[in-house]
Amino acid sequence: MVIRRATPADAAAMAEVWLRSRTAALPTVRRAHSDNEVRAWFRDVVVPQRESWVAEDGGVIVGLLVLDGSWVSQLYVEPDRRGEAIGTSLLNRAKMQRPTGLELWTFQVNLPARLFYEKHGFVEVERTNGAANEEGEPDIRYQWASRQEPKNLVNRLRERDDDLRPGDDAPGQSRPAFLTIPHFRGRTWQNICIRILFGIVRICHCGAFFSDGVVQQFGLFAE
């Protein structure tokens, strides 16, 4: 089996895998689009405009992965090929393509997919009642954060991602603060310097927070 980028010639087979897999996995979830709309979407949008990958075995498409920015937009395996690690191979490809992190939505009723994602390090971060998705089905947002990011840095940034605000802490409490240096934001040459500094973050307690490949924050931790 090989994992490779999809070409326009794969679009029709990808749509059929998606339709069979979706029908088998989610029989109770209403479909927002007809079969032909799905086929046209793969042909006109997914393959030409998204980062699409296929798992091919003996010349047959047996799974597909679609990435859209940091999102795993689609991950579907041929129903009678489930449990053969095809999904794992595709998800590993997604992690290689997006080493800084991934996000995805899955329906709450899709227990096998939830177990699969959780087994692969995805963590639930949000649940909705489905009012905002096309199917009207309750769903869950999962995130995967690469181990390449120092966890303590990320967690501390989440705790305190604003500029340093002295006096915030309750008396007697000592929490780390993050002093944002606004100058070091954006796509300019500073970005390159920050990437170098990021490599020594564990040592000197300075760091940068990236989103969509752009430095959003850079600064020093004050204990």
For ligand COA, the closer of residues 47 and 62 by Cβ is 62
Q: Which residue, judged by CB position, is nearest to ligand COA in the bound state?
A: 87
CB of 26: closest distance to ligand COA in angstroms?
7
Per CB under 6 A, residues contacting ligand COA are: 21, 25, 75-77, 82-88, 106, 110, 112-113, 115-116, 119
Q: Are 142 and 128 in contact (CB under 8 A)?
A: no
CB of 121: closest distance to ligand COA in angstroms?
12
For ligand COA, the closer of residues 89 and 190 by Cβ is 89
For ligand COA, the closer of residues 78 and 149 by Cβ is 78
For ligand COA, the closer of residues 40 and 85 by Cβ is 85
CB of 147: closest distance to ligand COA in angstroms?
20
CB of 8: closest distance to ligand COA in angstroms?
23
CB of 99: closest distance to ligand COA in angstroms?
20
For ligand COA, the closer of residues 3 and 25 by Cβ is 25
φ/ψ of residue 113, rounded to 5: -65, -40
